[in-house]
Structures are given as structure tokens and as C-alpha cells.
């Protein structure tokens, strides 16, 4: 079970890993907390399209369905409303009724219900910083941890079905400094330019230097599924620029320099040895 904040997050964080496990016969469920209703249209070809803007909720649902089909996963919506990404100094208040303002217990209950119905052995989500500090990503972390800890307890959320205890909880760590630096260096060496200049500047900023590196416990080899990952992300046409830097690193460089997707083991109820190369280590 992969728990994500918005449609498109599943395709940029752990998608190749999911595609690999689907190919190996695992059942994979993507849980999407919100509809992405407040997301901006980021594809220059689609900006200003009045019909898309009027129907953004339905458009993003259709994009999610296409990405689901490409990855071979199943998918469920929790049904909460996108909080948007507040900007300004000071930051404006979040909109009333949005996901990030829900009580953790209220927002976690439908996720507990899904865990008890789907009965996953492994759950992936974001760390306590949300991967980056979007309020929906942080709330996604909170409810994922709450649901993981509660799903096996018959005294908690008694109306949400028969107890089931997942065995491992991971945090996606796709955009690590080490990975970005490695790809940046490879692109400079082989092409003379890199799409990661902005990332490097942020890493070298005062805020970037103060942010500690996360521990990577688990590196899942999945390079042969990178094309599926990118196809799934491109299915979210309103959210990505197909000519943008995301897709500018040649596959052969990606597979040579960083052929894994990386995770941080946050909880394990089974014995395992770190480092791992499999989310199911100790389970199967």
C-alpha cells in the first residue's frame, strides 16, 4: 500500500518500485488522500485552458486513472479536499474544510478501514517533513503513521473493520541530495549541462545546509521500470511539462548512476538486516 497526498505523487515517488512488484505478482494499492483540486496547471501547453480549469477535479481523476492503468496498480481515494500550497510572508491561513485541517483521527479512519480491507504487509508514505513541507504531505504522513499503528488494534477505530497489522512502514526518499548530486555530476561530465542547477543552489543555501540527510535503509533496484514511471507521470498531463527538466536525463545515465528507488524503514515488526534491497525483506 502506497499512501500519497495528491494524484501524481504516486508517479514521482516510488512508481518504478511499484511497477516492479506488480510485475513480480504483488498486489499494490495506491491510496490518494485528496483530489488535487487546488493544484496549479504546470504544463505550459495546457495553461489557460478554461475547460480544464473549470473541471480540474474530474480532469485529475481521469489522469490518475490513466497512471493507475500504466503502473498496473489498484487505486482508492480517501476523498479529502486539497489544501493547496500556501505562499506569502506571513503564510495565509489554509482554506476551511481542507485535508490538512482535519483532525488526524478523522482523516486516519478511512485509511485504517482500507488497511483492514486490503491487508497490506508493507506501507509506504512520506516522512514527518512530507518530503517537502506541503501541508497535505505532512498530514499524509500523520495519518499513515496513525493508521499503521492502529490498524491491528481491535480497540481503536472499532467501526473500521476487523483488525489487520501491516508489518513494515517506509518513507519515500526519492529526492535525496546524494542522488541529485550524482546525476548532476554525470550530466555535466557527459553533456556539459545539467537540469539540477536549481537543486544544487538550494542545497548550498543556508536552509539547505541546515537540513539533515535522511538515513536510506533500503534501495530497491528498479531501473528497468523507469520508462513506466515516466509514462505514468506524463499521464498527469496538467501537472508536468513533457519538455521540462524532469525528463531530460537519458535513461542510460539514470540506470547506470542511480538504478534504485530509495526508502527509509520507519517501522518493522519483522526481523530484517539493514541495508535492504527489498521492501518485503523479512516478510517473504
pLDDT tens digit at each of 284 positions of the chain: 999 999 999 999 999 999 999 999 999 999 999 999 998 899 999 999 999 999 999 999 999 999 999 999 999 999 999 999 888 888 889 999 999 999 999 999 999 999 999 999 999 999 999 877 899 999 999 999 999 999 999 999 999 999 999 999 999 999 999 999 999 999 999 999 999 998 888 888 766 566 778 999 999 999 999 999 999 999 999 999 999 888 999 999 999 999 999 999 999 999 999 999 999 999 98
Q: Are 161 and 113 in contact (CB under 8 A)?
A: yes
Are 34 and 150 part of one and the same domain?
yes
CA geometry: angle 228, 8, 29, nearest 5 deg: 75
Residues 18 and 11: their CA atoms lie apart, in Å, by 9
Are 196 and 109 part of one and the same domain?
no
Q: For residue 226, is it within any domain?
A: no
Of 98, 63, 50, nearest to 239 by C-alpha is 63
Are 165 and 193 part of one and the same domain?
no
Give the domain range for residue 181.
177-213
Are 110 and 9 part of one and the same domain?
yes
Binding-site residues: 6, 9, 137
Please state the domain count of the chain. Answer: 2
Q: For residue 220, is it within any domain?
A: no
Are 24 and 107 part of one and the same domain?
yes
Provide the whole-model pTM: 0.95
Are 159 and 104 part of one and the same domain?
yes
Binding-site residues for Zn(2+): 6, 9, 137
Are 158 and 27 part of one and the same domain?
yes
Amino acid at each position: 500500500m502506497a499512501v500519497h497526498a495528491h494524484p501524481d505523487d504516486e508517479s514521482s515517488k516510488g512508481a518504478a518500485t511499484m511497477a516492479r512488484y506488480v510485475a513480480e505478482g504483488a498486489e499494490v494499492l495506491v491510496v490518494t488522500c485528496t483530489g488535487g483540486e487546488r493544484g496549479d496547471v504546470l504544463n505550459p501547453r495546457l495553461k489557460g485552458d478554461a475547460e480544464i480549469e473549470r473541471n480540474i477535479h474530474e480532469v485529475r481523476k481521469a489522469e490518475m486513472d490513466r497512471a493507475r492503468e500504466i503502473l498496473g496498480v489498484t487505486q482508492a481515494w480517501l476523498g479529502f479536499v486539497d489544501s493547496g500550497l500556501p505562499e506569502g510572508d506571513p503564510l495565509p491561513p489554509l482554506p476551511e474544510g481542507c485535508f490538512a485541517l482535519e483532525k488526524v483521527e478523522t482523516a486516519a479512519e478511512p485509511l485504517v478501514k482500507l488497511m483492514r480491507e486490503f491487508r497490506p504487509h508493507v506501507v509506504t508514505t512520506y516522512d514527518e517533513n512530507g518530503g517537502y513541507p506541503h501541508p497535505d504531505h505532512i498530514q499524509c504522513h500523520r495519518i499513515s503513521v496513525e493508521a499503521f499503528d492502529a490498524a491491528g488494534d481491535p480497540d481503536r477505530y472499532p467501526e473500521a473493520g476487523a483488525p489487520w497489522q501491516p508489518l513494515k512502514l517506509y518513507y519515500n526518499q526519492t529526492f535525496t541530495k546524494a542522488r541529485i548530486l550524482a546525476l548532476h555530476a554525470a550530466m555535466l561530465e557527459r553533456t556539459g549541462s545539467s537540469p539540477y542547477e536549481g537543486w544544487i543552489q538550494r542545497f548550498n543555501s543556508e536552509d539547505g545546509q541546515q537540513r539533515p540527510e535522511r538515513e536510506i535503509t533500503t534501495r530497491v533496484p528498479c531501473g528497468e521500470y523507469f520508462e513506466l514511471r515516466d509514462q505514468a507521470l506524463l499521464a498527469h498531463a496538467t501537472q508536468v511539462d513533457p519538455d521540462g527538466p524532469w525528463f531530460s536525463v537519458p535513461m542510460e545515465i539514470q540506470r547506470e548512476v542511480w538504478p534504485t528507488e530509495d526508502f527509509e524503514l520507519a517501522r518493522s515488526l519483522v526481523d530484517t538486516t539493514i541495508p535492504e534491497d527489498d521492501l518485503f525483506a523479512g516478510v517473504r
